Structure 1
Amino acid sequence: MQLGLHALGIGAGARRAVIDAVAVAAEATGFATLWSGEHVVMVDRASSRYPYSADGRIAVPAEADWLDPLIGLSFAAAATSTIRVATGVLLLPEHNPVVVAKQAASLDVLSGGRLTLGVGVGWSREEFDALGVPFARRAARTEEYVAALRTLWREDVASFTGDFVRFDSIRVYPKPPRPTIPIVFGGNSDSALRRAATLGDGWYGFNLDGVPEVADRLAFLGAQGRDLADLRIAVALRDPQPEDIAQLAALGVDELVLVAGPPDDPAVAGEWVSALADRWLPM
């Protein structure tokens, strides 16, 4: 089983020098993927419930720097040559899918085919309101946008007609260097897992409460009629321990993602990554 690192894009991880240091060290020490999430806006007092914590609150301060993940990951990709980069996750219904198709393909080309596009439906009504995007039917919008993305990446002259996006006989270049960019669905709910099973190339389970919850969610995912061997499974645990690795591998997990904030000082960021590698990668 491989290990990923979800450390870039927020706070100290939004600084160029730290991004370079973390990315270079992660590649050198054997991490498989660098992950970066997204929020376009944050608010001081949210009424929306954050779905990945017991108290319904996100731990990131509203005033923290939070990079656009595709831009931030482009710097990580430029500093490296082999490690994968992944959005974990991009809130797809908040974006124009034609623009996302071009941005994602551009990063995939420049990185040599190393991008995984993790997508989610979003949870913050305040964020959707600020962007002028309806909060209602965001799951249906996401599913349609995924179909549109794949059409744009596949077809030289692309047309699409849906409830939320329409285009006719357009050319969007560059195309991904691979046949397509893998799309991984985030979210731990039943509906998120159904989307991963029916539409995704994989699933990214975030902030799960240990191996038992991973087992429960994978059992549900497997019951949707999709062979789990056809999906890339990545999970981040709330309190991971090195001894979890063998159990996760036995469940069919492909990648354990460590979620951690890097130090402010880029001079010690590489040492910080190396310390993580010493603890986790020998397993």
Structure 2
Amino acid sequence: MRIGVVFPQTEIGPDAGAVRAYGQGVEELGYRHLMVYDHVVGADPAVHQGWQGPYNIETTFHEPMVLFGYLAALTSLELVTAIIILPQRQTALVAKQAAEVDLLSAGRFRLGVGLWNPVEYEALGQDFTTRGRRIEEQVELMRRLWTEPSVTFDGTYDRVTGAGLAPLPVQRPIPVWFGAQSPAAYRRAGRLADGWFPQMSPGPKLDEAKAMIDEAAAQAGRDPSKLGMEGRVNWTGDAEELDDLAGRWRESGATHISINTMKAGLRSVDEHLSALETAAETLALRKH
């Protein structure tokens, strides 16, 4: 089971030096990958009455692809989006950006994709109501763009006529993982994904979700055992609790986990790294 960290998007701030210190510090502690959340714009609760999202216009978010271009030169970590909100973006442009990150990181890139809120879709000129159908078509097109020098594609939402990416990525195709938290999303992940990010802890709900994904994969002629699964462990300051949850994820079949230090009351990069050092020492006892 590979162990990484969740980049503290909402707490690390705009200082490039802090970003560099965090990325390099995480690598020195022995973590294998860095997971980054994505939001292009935040909603203003004063305008969007009744806004229930966890983030708003005051929440800081570095743009993942640009951030990864920076970190690819500074670390040897695997770089993971979890998730890029794919249907609000132009498909060919995401494929190009992903290919570039994959090249700059020497193939250390995983593209996590998913869906989000209508405020961002409007700002980016895309239709929120077609997001589920569109993401399926987008994944098909991106995989062709990553593996074929010339692509002709006539879909419902995208059209490409005799065009291709150059250079192609190192990984052909780049692994695509799905965020999933509904039966429809589980079935989609089973049919199309290389792996998935559960939105719950190990237990009956995870077992039910995994069963739906495995069934969908088998019905699509895929081997369910080949799908990755990345769990998330929130840091609470209790190393024993972290150790126990990491073990439960391993028993549940997780191929990866990420340690999340956001919303733990940590006020600086040094405090985040100190917590991750304790976590690394604890998890090293399990010899992952």
Q: TM-score range by the shorter chain?
A: 0.7 to 0.9
Distance 2:285 2:70 in 1: 28
Structure 2: 5+ residue stretches without partners: 236-240
Structure 1 counterpart of 2:35, one-letter code: W
- Equivalent residue, structure 2, for 1:271: 274
- Equivalent residue, structure 1, for 2:215: 223
- CA-CA distance at 1:210 after TM superposition: 4.5
C-alpha distance 265-243 of structure 1, shift in aligned 2 (>3 A): closer
Query: Could you say what secondary structure the match of 2:243 adopts?
Result: coil
Structure 1 counterpart of 2:61, one-letter code: W
- Equivalent residue, structure 1, for 2:42: 42
Contact 2:175 2:194 in 1 (8 A): yes
Structure 2 counterpart of 1:114, one-letter code: R
Distance 1:279 1:75 in 2: 30
- CA-CA distance at 1:112 after TM superposition: 0.4
Contact 1:87 1:116 in 2 (8 A): yes
C-alpha distance 185-156 of structure 1, shift in aligned 2 (>3 A): same
Distance 2:49 2:160 in 1: 36
Query: Could you say what secondary structure the match of 1:113 adopts?
Result: coil
Structure 1 counterpart of 2:10, one-letter code: I
Correspondence 1:13-28 to 2 at 5 A: 14-28=14-28
- Equivalent residue, structure 1, for 2:79: 85
Contact 1:18 1:264 in 2 (8 A): no
- Equivalent residue, structure 2, for 1:166: 159
Q: How does the TM-score come out when normalised to structure 2? A: 0.86
Structure 1 counterpart of 2:70, one-letter code: F
- CA-CA distance at 1:191 after TM superposition: 1.2
Q: How does the TM-score come out when normalised to structure 1? A: 0.88
Structure 2 counterpart of 1:147, one-letter code: E
- CA-CA distance at 1:18 after TM superposition: 2.2
Distance 2:113 2:192 in 1: 11
C-alpha distance 276-20 of structure 1, shift in aligned 2 (>3 A): farther
Distance 1:178 1:152 in 2: 12
Query: Could you say what secondary structure the match of 1:213 adopts?
Result: helix
- CA-CA distance at 1:279 after TM superposition: 3.1
Correspondence 1:1-283 to 2 at 5 A: 1-12=1-12, 14-45=14-45, 46=48, 56-58=52-54, 60-81=55-76, 83-122=77-116, 124-206=117-199, 208-224=200-216, 225=218, 226-237=222-233, 241-261=242-262, 265-266=268-269, 270-283=273-286
C-alpha distance 250-48 of structure 1, shift in aligned 2 (>3 A): farther
Contact 2:179 2:196 in 1 (8 A): yes
Structure 2 counterpart of 1:104, one-letter code: A
Q: How many residues align?
A: 273
Distance 2:194 2:249 in 1: 19
Contact 1:90 1:117 in 2 (8 A): yes
C-alpha distance 271-237 of structure 1, shift in aligned 2 (>3 A): closer
Distance 1:236 1:270 in 2: 17
Identity %: 27
Distance 1:229 1:126 in 2: 37
- CA-CA distance at 1:250 after TM superposition: 2.0
- CA-CA distance at 1:121 after TM superposition: 2.2
Query: Could you say what secondary structure the match of 1:223 adopts?
Result: helix
C-alpha distance 79-264 of structure 1, shift in aligned 2 (>3 A): farther
Structure 1 counterpart of 2:224, one-letter code: L
Query: Could you say what secondary structure the match of 1:132 adopts?
Result: coil
- CA-CA distance at 1:273 after TM superposition: 3.0
Contact 1:37 1:87 in 2 (8 A): yes
- CA-CA distance at 1:115 after TM superposition: 0.5
Contact 1:36 1:87 in 2 (8 A): yes
Query: Could you say what secondary structure the match of 2:81 adopts?
Result: strand
Distance 1:86 1:229 in 2: 21
Q: Which has the higher contact order (CA 8 A, sep 6+)?
A: 1
Contact 1:117 1:183 in 2 (8 A): yes
Name the stretch that deviates more: 139-148 or 17-26: 17-26
Structure 1: 5+ residue stretches without partners: 50-55
- CA-CA distance at 1:237 after TM superposition: 4.7
- Equivalent residue, structure 2, for 1:53: none
